[in-house]
Amino acid sequence: MTFQVACHESDVEPADVMQVTLDGVDLAIARDSDGSWHALDDQCTHGNVSLSDGDVEDGGIECWKHGSVFDLETGQPRSLPAVAPVAVYSIKVENGSVWVDIDRPLH
C-alpha cells in the first residue's frame, strides 16, 4: 500500500465532500455526518458527472444530476438510475492529514 496525502482534515467539514486528483485519479474525499472519512472515484457510473458536487448524508453520496446515491463504504449504488458501483479506496487520517491509497481499490 502506498498512501499519499489527499488533503488536510480541516479541508472537509462533516457532511461534505471535495475533489482531489492523485496520480491522475479523480477522487471524492467525503466526510460523513458522523465524521467518518471515505475516498471513492469521483465519477458517477451512470451520468459521467462529478460526485464531489453532490451531497453527503447517512453513509451515502448523492449524484447531483440524476439522484443516484452511492454507499460510502462499498461504492454500491443504493438507488437508480446507477447500477454499477464506484471504486472505494483505503483512507486514513494522521496528524491532521488525510491519506489515500489509490494503488488497490477496496471495492
Average pLDDT over every residue of 51-61? 96
Cβ–Cβ < 8 Å for 91, 73: no
Mean pLDDT over 64-89 rounds to 96
**Band of pLDDT at residue 1, cut at 50, 70 and 90:** low
Nearest to 11 by CA among 31, 38, 27: 31
| Domain spans in the chain, listed from the N-terminal domain onward | 3-101
CB-neighbour burial class of residue 44 (10 A; exposed 0-12, middle 13-18, buried 19+): buried
Is pLDDT above 90 for 77? yes
pLDDT at residue 36 in the model? 97
**pLDDT tens digits, one per residue of 93-106:** 999 999 999 998 99
The structure's pTM equals 0.94
CATH topology of domain 3-101: Rieske Iron-sulfur Protein (2.102.10)
